[in-house]
Structure 1
Amino acid sequence: MDISKLSLEQKIGQMFICGFHSLVPDDQIRKLIEDYHLGGVIYFRRNIDKPQQVASLSASLQKLAADHGNLPLWIAIDQEGGMVARIDHKQISRIPGNMALGATDHPDYSYEVSKISAEELLQLGINMNFAPCLDVNNNPHNPVIGVRSFGENPDKVSEHGAAVIKAFQEKGLSAAAKHFPGHGDTNVDSHMGLATVEHDVERLQQVELKPFIKAIQQGVDVIMTAHVIFPAIEPEPIPATLSRSVLTGLLREDLAYDGIIVTDCLEMHAIAKFFGVGEGAVKAVEAGADVVLVSHTLSDQIEAIEAVKNAVRSGRISEKTIDAAVERILKLKQKRLTGLQATEVSQVFLERHEKPEVDRLLKEISRKSITLVKDQGQLPLNTAEPVLVIWPEVRSETQVDEPWTEVVTLGEALSKYAANVKEIRISAEPGQEEIEETLNTAASFSQVVLATYTAGSTLPEGQMSLAEKLLRQNHGKLVVASTRNPYDLNDIPEIPAYLCCYENTPYFMEALASILAGQSEAEGKLPVSLDEPGVAAAN
């Protein structure tokens, strides 16, 4: 991996990671690899079927790069765990999300599950994970981070994040800590607009920057930038991704980080809408980014690559800047990808039933994550009497998380403990007719469990209305369990019993059912503060 043997076009190609839209190498990714010497690929759900298919895809892409004289590819993914998991297949372990891990208050769990995830990803030919998310989520109205954060305590986020990084990189998987300098205290989703964090430098050092400083000390391979404005660091109204003060001044010089800096996707509206993808790519490289991520659209990907190339040829970006970035890229590829041949990507993947030790660990973590926030004499349920479960179905995907294809509903899980469980499945954003039908059914039940699901910053209006009307029905027992965002209680504070699950994945619903039935205790510690008096994060 000798930079002197690379042309300018090859060097610039190494500075880009791009996505495509099929289960096999298509014309888009072939063109980027063959004509633009692409340095890396990012997978999404659209690229994923069965594990054997993913391994074959990775092998095909590496072979394509090798056949055209290119360096081995980074093959990256956002497999954060919990609700952010691009690979959704029964042969892949359903690793808990960050906030669930934070609720256990045991960084050892974060280390153990991250080892499992790294082993599985590497077996699929994936060598970089855009994780962990090191944002300190101290804003209950954050629409995009939420349960992707370990919590609101910067020291605990630092401990869990360092454990994940250590586990990934011990196994040989590059970790990418995100979103620098911190996306936790925002109320705008950078996929849709530009957010600003107004805090002064002292506060940023005490909170937002702490986990990243710890990650640098841990030797993290990659740090991903945030499309967020930080006026205390950058006086111009530009996001961190495009700020030389943030990327070079703060991250490179002040924090002495010598690893790879990668941008978040430049097609997000925070960049594309306000600056353009091509100009955004140039500004990011000028700011100090080594690698530019353009995830979706071929025309945007080509525009970004050509814009950087033209900026070098015009003298706007010096070739020394390109060389410095590529030297860092080659150094990391030499460390992580040396000797990688496409034929070595394993096609063999362990079946779920052959990993009982993983099942035991994930069941244990789910039990130790679920948090009982309040209970005014509602628990446990009387399993000899009828129970109504109201389950919100996630019927649409967001830019961040997608519905799981294999779902165990709470009603299904509770049926193992209670003789008479009826479940109503509603939309996560129910309309008035759906609400009225649910209330009519609920009227005849003395025990009702409402699961809530919030993908954004506040409980959807329909779920809130349903909860308030259920309260007025005066059931003998009414329990609400949030199956994603723990802040739901802020919108329905009068609920007499409230538990946080942080995700609606099968292990967590099975653990929740056991708790509702009185067969086990909720052992989790709340990693964020709620509006309820006396309900603060466990610190």
Structure 2
Amino acid sequence: MKKLIPTLLVLLLVALSCDKKQPTNISLENTPRTKWVDSIYNKMTLKEKIGQLFMIATYSNKGKKHTDSIQRLINENGIGGLVFFQGGPVRQARQTNVYQATSKVPLLIAMDAEWGLNMRLDSTVRFPYNMTLGAIKDTDLVRKVGEKIGEHCNRLGVHINFAPVVDINTNSKNPIIGVRSFAEDKYQVTEKALAFTNGMQSKNVLACAKHFPGHGDTDKDSHKTLPTVTLSKERIDSVEMYPYKELFKNKMAGVMVAHLNVPSLEKDGVPSSLSHHIVTDILKERLGFEGLIFTDALNMKGAANYKETGAIDLAAFMAGNDILVLTEDVPKAVSKITEAYNNKEITEERLAHSVKKILASKFDVDLNNFKPIDTLNLISDLNDETNDVLNEAVFINAITALKNNNVLPFREVANKKIAFVGLGDGNSAPFLNALQSHLKVDDFSDLKQPELLRKLKSYEKVIVSYHRLNSRLTSKISDEDRLKIEEIAKNNKVVLDVFASQYSLENLDFENIEAAIVSYENSEIAQKVSAEIILGNKDAKGKLSASLNDEFIAGSGIKILK
């Protein structure tokens, strides 16, 4: 019995210690992962450990001077990772190989590829925006998009994609999120984000949910200023944080913290990315997130205007972030953090907590056995026919019919005169060509009023399409285009098809419009699929993921059967 008491005491102490938060993702077991992490960490100098905290921007469309400067930063500061921006896939792969060969510890490579590598790189495929994916009922399609983007990232040697955006876009005037959000409803956002994440992480590419604690209800751009979120902490907890709570149950690898002023969560006006209460007390402790925590880019004005360079990085690390993204001055930031460490403001335990998490993530994406990226057939591997098949499937399921007074689909119109008017600054040729391959359609896009209205008098049906060159824009259509659509609709049976965000129609009067379709994006595939719906060769099955006015709210959408 005397031998049993000490044993029970030890077990009790172990049980009590388990209630405390263990360092994120660091197992106490002697696994290959832990062995590798410890073997790297134990050989590092203090400067090399601190260097692991930084991810810096690099470009494959810049010259030797840029490449040399990145190599210098890697050599002199032991940088932990890189974020690639504009360029091309072959150039990026070659540069990645050079940088990996330069680095003593394998580099974690990241990209902002929310809708695929094409967000940054030429010669690659663009997939639909999140808000288009939000219009789809078949969530498995969203998983397949995440899977395909993950496949492309993996092929290019990209280990973490700063996606998905899980902001709930409840503000139609949001200048920075908009179509990057899946929806205005927390359940829809969560369902789609889970599917996207599962797809991408199945290809061994780490996902990173953003922008914590929630950038959806803002009317300013944190790249330019510090937006204020005026919501109560109860509302933020129940709505904005809902997707994070669900994603954390499903092995979300990373979270990116936004630069926001959130008075209900941080009373001192500190940007959320630099707030210990938001990053540590809420994200890490209350929500229990144990993955990698990234700052949003520290060169954005939302953070950069708050403190001087270096001091921002120190504040971000002290707040609880693991990876400091796009600092403006690495040597100065390293110096500031080193000074704080030497002054015992930062403990060895705190530094090890983040650095070992970073190293563990590198092990998870097989950087313990790094192999140079093979550039042979890289372009063809990233551009096979399965991309178009998936894109087409998305638009077949997403394109949303809002209104139809028995004019769609077109039937028995071979002998009837149909007019076409294309508006906006985007290309309408694929849409018009697809219509003209089946119908006799006369194009009056170049005519100005009142001549246009005179010409249209002899036409029973008019297809008016609005094409936005940049489908990410959520601003309203111009007053000139709005008045033109409304005037034509007073005198003709108008079918309106919009190849832009639904938000662009917020100021339009739909009363005299016979049929209205939202096709979301001005891609060639979207135009061809939408033409097929009008012609009766495909069904319309999408539902609005966000409201455009009081009449057409989120969830609106009628079926048009082929």
Same fold (TM over 0.5): yes
Instruction: Give the TM-score, by structure 1 length.
Output: 0.85
**Partner letter of residue 320 of structure 1?**
E
How far residue 350 of structure 1 moved from its aligned partner, in angstroms, is: 6.5
Aligned pair 1:156/2:170, yes or no?
A: no
How far residue 524 of structure 1 moved from its aligned partner, in angstroms, is: 0.3
The answer for the alignment partner of 2:479 in structure 1 is 464
**1:442–1:85 distance in 2 versus 1, CA, 3 Å:** farther
Show the 5 A alignment for 1:242-257: 242-257=274-289
**1:413–1:320 distance in 2 versus 1, CA, 3 Å:** farther
**1:408–1:161 distance in 2 versus 1, CA, 3 Å:** farther
How far residue 146 of structure 1 moved from its aligned partner, in angstroms, is: 1.3
- Is contact 1:410-1:509 (8 Å) kept? yes
Equivalent of 1:107, from 139, 148, 162? Answer: 139
The share of aligned pairs that are identical, in percent, is 29
How much is the aligned-residue C-alpha RMSD, in angstroms? 2.9
The answer for the alignment partner of 2:53 in structure 1 is 15
The answer for the alignment partner of 1:55 in structure 2 is 93
The answer for the alignment partner of 1:429 in structure 2 is none
The answer for the alignment partner of 2:546 in structure 1 is 528
Distance 1:353 1:164 in 2: 19
How far residue 12 of structure 1 moved from its aligned partner, in angstroms, is: 1.6
Distance 2:359 2:496 in 1: 51
The answer for the alignment partner of 1:444 in structure 2 is 455
Aligned pair 1:331/2:360, yes or no?
A: yes
The answer for the alignment partner of 1:492 in structure 2 is 508
Q: What SS does the corresponding residue of 1:364 show, helix, strand or coil?
A: helix
Q: What SS does the corresponding residue of 2:525 show, helix, strand or coil?
A: helix
Q: Deviations over 1:6-28 (max 9, x none)?
A: 11211121111111344366133
The answer for the alignment partner of 1:288 in structure 2 is 320
- Is contact 2:444-2:452 (8 Å) kept? no
Equivalent of 2:290, from 242, 258, 271? Answer: 258
The answer for the alignment partner of 2:4 in structure 1 is none
Deviates more, 1:229-238 or 1:362-371: 229-238
The answer for the alignment partner of 2:16 in structure 1 is none
- State which structure, 1 or 2, has the greater radius of gyration over its C-alpha atoms: 2
Aligned pair 1:422/2:443, yes or no?
A: yes
Q: What SS does the corresponding residue of 2:210 show, helix, strand or coil?
A: strand
Show the 5 A alignment for 1:95-174: 95-174=127-206
- Is contact 1:178-1:226 (8 Å) kept? yes
Distance 1:167 1:317 in 2: 38
Equivalent of 2:115, from 81, 93, 100? Answer: 81
How far residue 371 of structure 1 moved from its aligned partner, in angstroms, is: 0.8
- Is contact 1:93-1:117 (8 Å) kept? no
Where do 5+ consecutive residues of structure 1 fail to align? 395-405, 426-435
Aligned pair 1:343/2:372, yes or no?
A: yes
**1:173–1:419 distance in 2 versus 1, CA, 3 Å:** same
Number of equivalences? 504
Distance 1:60 1:407 in 2: 43
Distance 2:279 2:549 in 1: 35
The answer for the alignment partner of 1:41 in structure 2 is 82
- Is contact 2:547-2:554 (8 Å) kept? yes
Instruction: Give the TM-score, by structure 2 length.
Output: 0.82
**Partner letter of residue 389 of structure 2?**
R
Where do 5+ consecutive residues of structure 2 fail to align? 1-36, 558-562
Q: What SS does the corresponding residue of 2:221 show, helix, strand or coil?
A: coil
Q: Deviations over 1:139-172 (max 9, x none)?
A: 1111111111110121121111111221222211
**1:531–1:310 distance in 2 versus 1, CA, 3 Å:** same
- Is contact 2:60-2:85 (8 Å) kept? no
Q: What SS does the corresponding residue of 1:494 show, helix, strand or coil?
A: coil
Distance 1:287 1:8 in 2: 20
How far residue 444 of structure 1 moved from its aligned partner, in angstroms, is: 2.7
**1:115–1:21 distance in 2 versus 1, CA, 3 Å:** closer
The answer for the alignment partner of 2:20 in structure 1 is none
- Is contact 1:134-1:161 (8 Å) kept? yes
Q: What SS does the corresponding residue of 1:5 show, helix, strand or coil?
A: coil
